[in-house]
Amino acid sequence: MTVRSTGSSCAGVARASAACLLLLAGCAGRGEATIAAASSLRAAMPALMAAWRAQSQVTLTVNVNYGASGSLRRQVEAGAPTHAVFLASARQVDRLLEQGLVDPSSRVVVAGNQLVLAGPARSEGLSFEGLASLAPGQLLAMGDPDTAPVGRYARDYLQALGIWPAVKQRAVYASSTAAVLAYARRGEVTAAIVYDSDLLTVDDLLLLDRARPGVSTQPLLVAALSADAPDELADFLSFVASQAGQKVLAEYGFLAPPGDTR
């Protein structure tokens, strides 16, 4: 099995050009398949593929297109050939279901996640509640709530804490978790709200605080297959949901799927 990754410079943008869609179309030839994966899976997906390959006889070439879940959903709607989606939002997957673009019988919540507050060393001691008291000139990086699920989860959590009106004045939006982390790593913001799984991919930011469970909707990783997905991808999805796949996801900071997946 061969695994290829597509960067976010083309496939990750919300308004993909016609040329970009044609390029993606060329990736889904005979014996190939394309997965659209949330950027939070950029580290874990190659490990999942490697573990799956180690226990399966696979000849399929798999192309992985990473990006913000909202942008990926719009690409599928625009006709980008996609045989499986792994998105960081049940809402985004269900919109594809409503349009008949993925098979409803294949929909599965494969993991949970947790919001964390991260920042450089100078921000040590800052908490989620403390974001309401940021000093003038201090900024918070977060995903764009309209396109990036990590941003919507962050906004919902801050609303549940009752501090969103104060915090949004300091918010700097980014298109994906990778871009949110980049703001913090460059020192351009005081703190950033990302997933726990994202923070594990860097070693130059501190964990400042964790979102409290049950305060707002838990982040979920939801997958589904297209109607014409090859059998090998159905096998891969089963592997991800298995004990072996869950072990790999846990190593990259993901949580077991919650009992209530809606």
Residue 80's domain is classified under what CATH number? 3.40.190.10
pLDDT of residue 59: 87
Q: Is the pLDDT of residue 248 over 50?
A: yes
Q: Using one digit for the tens of pLDDT, what is the confidence trace for 168-223?
A: 999 999 988 889 999 999 999 999 999 999 999 899 999 999 999 999 999 999 99
Residue 241 has pLDDT above 50, yes or no: yes
pLDDT one-digit tens code per residue, 182-195: 999 999 999 999 99
- In a shared domain, residues 78 and 99: yes
Determine, yes or no, domain membership for 10: yes
What number is the average pLDDT over the span 20-42? Answer: 68
Could you tell me the pTM of the whole model? 0.82
Same domain, 83 and 155: no
- Are residues 92 and 27 part of one domain? yes
| 15 and 94 inside one domain | yes
Environment class of residue 15 by beta-carbon count within 10 Å: exposed (0-12), middle (13-18) or buried (19+)? exposed
pLDDT band with cut points at 50, 70 and 90 for residue 30? low
